[in-house]
Amino acid sequence: MKKTFFYPEIWFLTAAAVFTRFWHLSSPARVIFDETHFGLYATKYLSHEYYFDIHPPLGKLLVALFSWIGGVSSGFSFELNAPYEDPSFVALRFLPAFLGALLVPLAYLFVKELGFSRRAAFVAGFLVLFDNALLVQSRFTMLDIPLLFFILLSLYFFILARKTTMFSGKWYTFYTACGLALGAAISTKWMGFGALGIVWFFQFLHGNFFAKPRAQKLFITAFLVVLPIVLYLGVFSVHFALLSDICQENCGYVTE
């Protein structure tokens, strides 16, 4: 794995991904598609104003964090196609662009760890780099790219963990990272539970889990079951702590 990071093709893919995701990120300078929802919800954290959404809050919390760092102010209506008057709005698009750029080398590393050649890994990264849907979604305030990144990251660390010696430092590190990535996936969108199901299937049903030593079973259960759930609940606790101003009207949903 260490040598992989020094391959020139992975640096080429990373540089190309950063360029294509961040070049003219502020264009178009108007509310596009689901930015009308996720941009609005992210800025609600800045004003501590309650809102309701069907998705878990981690993606919007992270967008809000970078928005706060970038100096984005709350109060913008985020009506579809409305122009952004404050240039700081580009901070809303930073997280999808950043993770969208990282998704390209991550695809390379994932395919390489599956046992394929450098050429096959490069083709995988190249296809992710120039996939039009992934490119477009990386340039707007939407949650699909963070979701895909956390899913692929969890599967990548899961493969690494399965290759390491039991109870070694890397074993603990990779399983912990896998659990955190799984927790991040399910805390971004409900579809993240699909990644959780894949990992659980290969670990608990397809990997002779119940024949393993008791200590190993306890640690793996803690990493892949307890840790994602704790992170999921922790994200919601932060969500409700920040949205302290529970309004009675105009909370992002309509009641009759």
Query: In this predicted structure, what is the pLDDT of residue 2?
Result: 64
pLDDT category at 3 given cuts 50, 70, 90 is confident
- Residue percentage of the chain with pLDDT more than 90: 87
Tell me how far apart the alpha carbons of residues 114 and 120 are, in angstroms, rounded to a whole number: 11
> What are the CA-CA distances from residue 66 to residues 89, 101, 130, 133, 251 (Å)?
10, 16, 26, 23, 23
Chain centre distance of CA 174: 17
Report the DSSP beta bridge partners of residue 83.
Answer: 30
Query: In this predicted structure, what is the pLDDT of residue 223?
Result: 98
Query: In this predicted structure, what is the pLDDT of residue 248?
Result: 45
Compute the half-sphere exposure of residue 153: CA atoms within 13 Å on the CB side of its CA: 22
Q: What is the pLDDT of residues 140-154, one digit of tens each?
A: 999 999 999 999 999
**Greatest extent of the chain over all pairs of C-alpha atoms, in Å:** 61
Arithmetic mean of pLDDT, 126-148: 98
pLDDT category at 194 given cuts 50, 70, 90 is very high
Arithmetic mean of pLDDT, 66-87: 95
First to last CA, the chain: 57
Q: What is the pLDDT of residues 26-48, one digit of tens each?
A: 999 999 999 999 999 999 999 99
In the chain, domain spans: 3-242
Query: In this predicted structure, what is the pLDDT of residue 246?
Result: 55
Q: What is the rounded average pLDDT for all residues in the chain?
A: 93
Asked if residues 175 and 222 have their Cβ atoms less than 8 Å apart, the reply is: no
Query: In this predicted structure, what is the pLDDT of residue 254?
Result: 41
Q: Is the pTM of this model over 0.85?
A: yes
**Inter-helix orientation angle 227-242/169-186, to 10°:** 50
